[in-house]
Chain A
Amino acid sequence: MSEALLQARGLHLAFGGVKAADGIDLDVLRGEFLAIIGPNGAGKTTFLNMATGYLRPQAGTIAYEGESILGLAPRAIVRRGIGRSFQLPQLFTEHTVLENVALAVAAREGVWSPLRPLLRPAWREEATEVLARFGLATLAGARADALNEGARKLTDIAMAVALKPRLLLMDEPTSGVAAAEKMAIVETLARVLRETGVTAVFVEHDMDVVERFADRVAVWSQGRIAALGPPGTVLADPAVQREVIGIEGPGAAAAGLPGGIAAGHA
């Protein structure tokens, strides 16, 4: 079996004139934490959308565990073990935080039991444990639409984690999370994922988080991967600094980026 858990080749997707994916080749390696960075509109979310079956690329292939997942519905892809959290949290707003996570547990264990309650002891306990890990224990009884942005974000991730995926794709997991809590939360999240052998891809704008937790960094720019490698090397590159860490936006020319720093894996 290959070392790549997820394998994307030649992904193309344009929205009108906008090339959101313009030849994406990427191997996500088993067990790694891969950070995706890049300016707004570079196509980071589009990549996650294609990998989870929400968008279908116009060209190219995606394989998971060596099998093509192209054309599968999100539901089928999730069942194969790819979980996802969202840039804008996708919560069941009329349910409590606990119920949101319990629904994820139910989705994993089998939702088709019409007579036993969702909050049966085993599922309530598991959901409570997951919430505790994310520091959300005190909010368990709160309705999801009453949360602040950070808590919504964490609930969203907690739901994805509760599905126990083998590959977890996270879209800006720390945006909206208070700076004071950010590192502690990512720390816990990273520990949980490492302990359970989960491979993770996360889109991230905070370079401290990237530096600390990513094994590799992929730099997205105008639908392409402009650079790929260990954070130490990639983040030190002046072109990357200009494009991503410095002035952001599509105005900053991608032309200055090197075609790709040799993909040495840490």
Chain B
Amino acid sequence: MRRGAEISLALLGVAGVLAAAWAAPWLRFVLTIALAKGIAVLGILLLLRAGQVSFGHALYLSSGAYVVAFLAPSLPEALLLLPLAALIAGLIGLVAGLFLARYRDIFFGMLNLAISMVFYSLLEKLYELTRGTDGIRVEPPRVAGLALTLEAYVWAMLLVALVLAVGFGMLVRAYLASPMGQALAGIKTRETRLEFMGVSARRVLLAAYVLSALMGGVAGAIVGMTTRHVTPLLAYWTTSGELVFIAILGGAGGALGPFLGAVTYELVRVYAAAAFAEAWQAILGVVLLLVILFAPGGLWGMLLGLLGRRPGRAP
């Protein structure tokens, strides 16, 4: 039943995104960014299953974006840039993960932060390579070999983001129900038992970490190709915090949560920033506080509650 409901909601969401983008052209950009962040937040959700919070996933988002910035001039094809960004972010995740998967809780969170801040300062300082805080402009690449008009390109990016969001959403959903995902949840409650069953908890966490890095890279590539301007701000700790924020706002109970959270976050941000230029961060803070206090299952939990289903538990 749950599966059927989730598929219907996902289809509803896809239709909603397309309809909104059709009706309001300025939303195309906002929704593309929201979907990209949702993909990155899927990775945060995976790690949350193991009880771990990364405060450094901006590292992977920015890796993906800079892969696009560096390679787009010589390789102007979105459908090649995306897998390359995924691969490189995944590799960085593998290297960092081999070290990080030994740590838990506050150490895991802070070491992620530390590594991402090192990366941030490199992006800032290596001016010759990265043009520092000025960032790098990205010319729109071709999409499937086609050089598109700007309007068509914006649409194409939205569709690419939508397809990838659905694909990674399904992947994460299957992953969480698989032995690897269930063992991940076992790390949270009884890690030593995994070892006494012959399973390496570190490898279980590492696998999820690499997948989360890869999704972060894909998200960053979409962000880079959509904003067409890549700056070190993408690697700054506030970006990492934003991903965790969205994860909690959306709810960690299911693969739709990150997208609910990301779309809500981006819309609130755009509207609040327009209406109360000074106070929008305070508004987001209050929203987060309310969610944590009154809806620990996040927006996804609230939605399930409205639909009369039990929220929250691992699938």
**Which residues of A line the B interface, CB within 8 A?**
52, 73-75, 78-79, 84, 90-95, 99, 102-104, 106-108, 111-119, 159, 163
Cβ < 8 Å to A, chain B residues 285-315: 313-314
Q: How far is the CB of A193 from chain B (nearest CB, A)?
A: 18
- B200 close to A (CB within 8 Å): yes
- B174 close to A (CB within 8 Å): yes
Q: Chain A contacts of B192 at CB under 8 A?
A: 74, 90
Pick from B174, B195, B314: contact of A114, CB below 8 A: B174
Q: Chain A contacts of B235 at CB under 8 A?
A: none
Known A93-B190, A95-B186; contact A107-B181, beta-carbon cutoff 8 A? no
Q: In the docked arrangement, what's the CA distance between A113 and B174, Å?
A: 10
Cβ < 8 Å to A, chain B residues 115-142: none
Whether A114 contacts B189 by the Cβ 8 Å rule is no
Q: Chain B contacts of A107 at CB under 8 A?
A: 179, 183, 194, 197-199
- B193 close to A (CB within 8 Å): yes
- B229 close to A (CB within 8 Å): no
Whether A113 contacts B196 by the Cβ 8 Å rule is no
Whether A117 contacts B185 by the Cβ 8 Å rule is no
Q: In the docked arrangement, what's the CA distance between A116 and B173, Å?
A: 11
Q: In the docked arrangement, what's the CA distance between A95 and B314, Å?
A: 8
Whether A159 contacts B175 by the Cβ 8 Å rule is no
Whether A94 contacts B185 by the Cβ 8 Å rule is yes
Whether B200 contacts A75 by the Cβ 8 Å rule is yes
Whether B198 contacts A93 by the Cβ 8 Å rule is no
Whether A114 contacts B313 by the Cβ 8 Å rule is no
Known A91-B190, A94-B185, A103-B186; contact A118-B199, beta-carbon cutoff 8 A? no
Q: Can you name 21 A-B residue pairings with CB atoms under 8 Å? A: A75-B196, A75-B198, A75-B199, A75-B200, A92-B190, A93-B189, A94-B185, A95-B189, A99-B182, A104-B197, A106-B182, A107-B197, A111-B199, A112-B179, A112-B180, A113-B180, A114-B175, A115-B174, A118-B177, A118-B181, A119-B177
Whether B198 contacts A79 by the Cβ 8 Å rule is yes
Cβ < 8 Å to A, chain B residues 190-231: 190, 192-200, 204, 207
Q: In the docked arrangement, what's the CA distance between A103 and B198, Å?
A: 11
Whether A78 contacts B197 by the Cβ 8 Å rule is yes
Q: In the docked arrangement, what's the CA distance between A52 and B194, Å?
A: 13
Q: In the docked arrangement, what's the CA distance between A93 and B314, Å?
A: 12
Q: In the docked arrangement, what's the CA distance between A90 and B186, Å?
A: 11
Q: Is the interface of B mostly helix, strand, loop or mixed?
A: helix
Q: Chain B contacts of A106 at CB under 8 A?
A: 179, 182-183
User: Which of B179, B189, B200 is the most central at the interface, judged by chain A CB atoms within 10 Å of its CB?
Assistant: B179
Whether B190 contacts A73 by the Cβ 8 Å rule is no
Whether A94 contacts B189 by the Cβ 8 Å rule is yes
Closest 3 CB pairs of A and B: A107-B197, A106-B179, A78-B198
Whether B193 contacts A116 by the Cβ 8 Å rule is no
Whether B188 contacts A94 by the Cβ 8 Å rule is yes
Q: Chain B contacts of A73 at CB under 8 A?
A: 195
Q: In the docked arrangement, what's the CA distance between A118 and B171, Å?
A: 15
Whether B183 contacts A115 by the Cβ 8 Å rule is no
Q: How far is the CB of A154 from chain B (nearest CB, A)?
A: 15
Q: How far is the CB of B176 from chain A (nearest CB, A)?
A: 10
Q: In the docked arrangement, what's the CA distance between A73 and B207, Å?
A: 20
User: Which of B183, B193, B200 is the most central at the interface, judged by chain A CB atoms within 10 Å of its CB?
Assistant: B193
- B238 close to A (CB within 8 Å): no
Whether B190 contacts A90 by the Cβ 8 Å rule is yes
Q: In the docked arrangement, what's the CA distance between A191 and B197, Å?
A: 23
Q: How far is the CB of B101 from chain A (nearest CB, A)?
A: 14
Known A91-B190, A118-B177; contact A111-B196, beta-carbon cutoff 8 A? no
Whether B178 contacts A116 by the Cβ 8 Å rule is yes
Q: Chain B contacts of A52 at CB under 8 A?
A: 196
Q: How far is the CB of B244 from chain A (nearest CB, A)?
A: 21
Q: In the docked arrangement, what's the CA distance between A103 and B180, Å?
A: 9
Which partner residue on chain B sits nearest A81 by CB separation? Answer: B198
Q: How far is the CB of A165 from chain B (nearest CB, A)?
A: 10
Q: Chain B contacts of A74 at CB under 8 A?
A: 192, 195-196
Q: Chain B contacts of A113 at CB under 8 A?
A: 178-180
Q: How far is the CB of B200 from chain A (nearest CB, A)?
A: 6
User: Which of B175, B186, B192, B204 is the most central at the interface, judged by chain A CB atoms within 10 Å of its CB?
Assistant: B186
Q: 17 new A-B pairs (CB below 8 Å) besides A95-B189, A163-B197?
A: A78-B195, A90-B196, A91-B189, A91-B190, A94-B188, A94-B189, A95-B185, A102-B182, A103-B182, A106-B182, A106-B183, A107-B197, A111-B179, A112-B179, A115-B174, A119-B177, A163-B198
Whether A92 contacts B200 by the Cβ 8 Å rule is no
Q: Chain B contacts of A117 at CB under 8 A?
A: 174, 177-178
Q: How far is the CB of A105 from chain B (nearest CB, A)?
A: 9
Q: In the docked arrangement, what's the CA distance between A232 and B170, Å?
A: 61
Known A73-B195, A74-B196, A90-B193; contact A111-B185, beta-carbon cutoff 8 A? no
User: Which of B183, B198, B314 is the most central at the interface, judged by chain A CB atoms within 10 Å of its CB?
Assistant: B198
Pick from B171, B177, B189, B313: contact of A92, CB below 8 A: B189
Pick from B174, B185, B197, B207: contact of A159, CB below 8 A: B197
